[in-house]
Amino acid sequence: MAGEKNLAAAGAPATGALTLGRVNAAPAQTWNRLRTNDVTLTVPVRDRKGDVYFALPRLFEGVACGMGADVTAWAESQAAGARYVEVPRGERRAEPIVVSVSAAAGEVADTGVMVRAGAEATIVVAAGTTAGDSAPSEGAPDAAPTSGSLLRVIAERGARVRIVEVIGVGAGEQHLESVGIRAEADARVEVSQYALGGGTVTLGLSCDLTGDRARIDLTQRYHAAGSEHLDVNEVVRHHGRGTRSELAYSGVLEDAAAKSLRTTIDLVHGARGAQGNEAEAVLVLGDDVTNKTLPVILCDEDDVAGNHGATIGSVSPEQLAFLASRGLSREDAEALFVRALFEDAIMAAPCDEARAVAVARAEAVLGPEVAHDFSDSLGEGGEDAC
């Protein structure tokens, strides 16, 4: 494929486990007793003695990733290859750049995408549990079957980048999704994230809006149930003048699910005219849910605007009364919220790999019949199949 290099190294079975502390650490921390500043993860480690580590071009070392330096180092050392994709100046790339990993197979990807000035590209991360062509992971002592994706993106002046991440693992599995973005002047980045649970989903994103008028629009929808765990850390730093960030989160938590969401809008000195907005709506449906949120705004410039809003709760009695008058019970109403979330994930998936992850999770949560209804409504492969 033109403009793409797969700097591959051989894979090897996991032979040990590594505990990573201070993963997904918020840049501005608070009381440690709240246990919301970061998360500790145990990940499998493959024996790489004698391997040559292939790495992305040095330019990507300057792109910080959301889960932190330790996860970056782990992913770089464990990835089967370092994949570099360059979208030439002014080119509109129709074919999505797809990163597909499986927790069951213990796959880790390290991807760097350079979108040159004025170019356009779509990047899809599909993180699921299907083993695919890879051999099932043998696992590692003391570590859950784990997949990882390290994605670093440089969007040059005027570039347009769309990133779609669909993540849903199996019970007892975990996925580490760490994204770093650098957006130069007039670049625009759209990110759609679907964290669909299944086991432990950890997701970090770091975006530096370095150029004037650069912009990021991020939407995240999530679902977690049972004893699933979702841990998110997303940071947007506004360096350039007139930069803009719009972050929107919504999700449903059921049963005894646990979620931690850290978001940071950092309005750096000199980012005159910058504006950062963040909003979260959480629907809590389980009596044993733990929902933690740390929405931070850091402001070192006066000519800026930073806004945050959050609503956390259940379906209100007034809403339920309205729905009851239309013949919907509480259970019906709550099921509709969950169904809408998965339907959106399936509809928005731009390629088969992502759609397969969403359908698999919809099957697990809503049952095969509902999931197949969604698939059928899209037709064979969907319009945007790759």
Partner 1 sequence: MSAERSAAEAASEQAQSRTRTQVADVDRSLYDFTKSEEGYERYDDGLTPDIVRSISAKKDEPDWMLEMRLAALEEYHRRPMAPNWGPSIAGLDLDHISTYVSPKTKQAKSWDDVPEDIKDTFERLGIPEAERESLAGVGAQYDSEIVYHNMREDVAKQGVVYTTIEDALHDPQWEPVVHQYFGTLIPPTDHKFAALHYAVWSGGSFVYVPAGVTLDYPLQSYFRLNAAGAGQFEHTLIIVEPGANLHFIEGCSAPKYYEANLHAGAVELFVKDGARLRYSTIENWSKNMYNLNTKRATVGADAKMEWVSGSFGSHVSYLYPTTIMAGDRSSCEFTGITFAGATQDLDTGCKVIMNGADTTASVDTKSISKDGGVNTFRSSVVVGRHADRARCSVSCQSLMLDDISRSDTIPAMDVRNATAQVGHEATIGRISDDTILYLMSRGCSEAEARTLVVNGFANPVSKELPLEYAVEMNNLIKMEMEGAIG
What gap in Å lies between CA 25 and CA 296, rounded to an integer? 12
> Of 193 and 264, which CB lies nearer to partner 1 in the complex structure?
264
Question: What is the residue whose two structure tokens read 């339907």?
Answer: 343
298: tokens are 């850091």
Q: How many CA atoms lie within 13 A of 129 on its CB side?
A: 20
Q: Which is nearer to partner 1, 32 or 325 (CB)?
A: 32
Using the minimum distance from each CB to partner 1, give the nearer residue, 80 or 230: 230
Tell me the site size for partner 1, rule CB under 8 A: 47
Q: Which is nearer to partner 1, 318 or 380 (CB)?
A: 318
Instruction: Say whether residue 300 binds partner 1 (CB under 8 A).
Output: yes
Q: CA 45 to CA 78: how far, in whole Å? A: 7
329 touches partner 1 by CB under 8 A: no
**288 lies in the site for partner 1, by CB under 8 A:** yes
The smaller minimum CB distance to partner 1, of residues 5 and 272, is found at 272
Q: Which of residues 156-185 bind partner 1 (CB under 8 A)?
A: none
Does residue 321 belong to the site contacting partner 1 (CB under 8 A)?
no
Q: Which of 133, 302, 318, 331 binds partner 1 (CB under 8 A)?
A: 302
Does 333 help bind partner 1 (rule: CB under 8 A)?
Answer: no
Separation between Cα atoms, residue 6 and residue 278, nearest integer Å: 36
Tell me which amino acid residue 89 is: R
CB atoms within 10 A of CB 335: 15
Q: Is residue 51 near partner 1 by the rule CB under 8 A? A: no
Among residue numbers 227 through 266, which ones bind partner 1 (CB under 8 A)? 241-242
Between strands 146-155 and 108-115, the pairing is: parallel
Phi/psi of residue 345, nearest 5 degrees:
-60, -45
Tell me how far, at minimum, the Cβ of 212 lies from partner 1, in Å. 8
Q: Whole-number minimum distance, CB 299 to partner 1, in Å? A: 5
Q: Which is nearer to partner 1, 135 or 312 (CB)?
A: 312
Number of C-beta neighbours around residue 280 at 10 A:
20
Is 289 a binder of partner 1 (CB under 8 A)?
Answer: yes
DSSP 51: P
What CA–CA distance (Å, rounded) separates 24 from 71? Answer: 9
DSSP states of 156-173 as a string?
-TT-EEEEEEEE---TT-
Residue nearer to partner 1 on the CB measure, 32 or 376: 32
Interaction of residue 269 with partner 1, rule CB under 8 A: yes
CB of 227 to partner 1, least distance (A): 14
Backbone angles phi, psi at 374, to 5 degrees: -60, -50
Work out how close the CB of 362 gets to partner 1 at its nearest, in angstroms, rounded to a whole number.
23
Of 70, 246, 273, 335, the residue at the interface with partner 1 (CB under 8 A) is 273
Q: How far is the CB of 108 from partner 1 (least distance, A)?
A: 28
Beta strands in the chain (DSSP E): 4-8, 14-23, 39-46, 81-87, 97-102, 108-115, 120-128, 146-155, 160-167, 174-183, 188-195, 200-209, 215-224, 229-238, 244-253, 258-267, 275-284, 290-299, 305-313
Closer to partner 1 at the Cβ: 132 or 273?
A: 273
Selected from 91, 301, 344, 363, the binder of partner 1 by CB under 8 A is 301
By CB under 8 A, tell whether 32 contacts partner 1. Answer: yes
Residue 170 or 242: the one with the smaller Cβ distance to partner 1 is: 242
Rule CB under 8 A: which residues touch partner 1? 28-32, 34, 36-37, 241-242, 267, 269, 272-273, 282, 284-314, 316
